[in-house]
Amino acid sequence: MSMSRDGLLPPSFSKIHPRFKTPYFSTVIAGILVAVPSLFLNLTEVTDLTSIGTLFAFILVSGGCWYCKAAGKNMIFPTMKRVSRFRT
């Protein structure tokens, strides 16, 4: 939902279900993208793809943060002061 608000995904991904208050469109799309390949693969291949999917999700989020920073959308990268217990 926040990726849609930042402009990385189409606006339809940020639609909220009126009754359940959850992003239903993105949940349905993700469910379809996971369910269809699992119908045609055996269990061993599906479990092997789990770690690849985790790596892909990490790369996607990292790329999105990199894009937002390069596009000048610094709302997710606030200026941080150095916090330390020791005087430097």
pLDDT (tens digit per residue) in 25-40: 888 888 898 888 888 8
CA distance 40 to 54: 20
Instruction: Label residue 73 by pLDDT band (50, 70, 90).
Output: low
Neighbours of 7 (CB within 10 A): 13
Q: Which of 7, 46, 13, 6 is nearest to 27 (CA)?
A: 13
Rounded to an integer, the average pLDDT of 7-33 is 83
Average pLDDT over residues 31-56: 83
Rounded CA gap, 56 and 42, in Å? 21
- d(CA 29, CA 48) in angstroms, rounded, equals 22
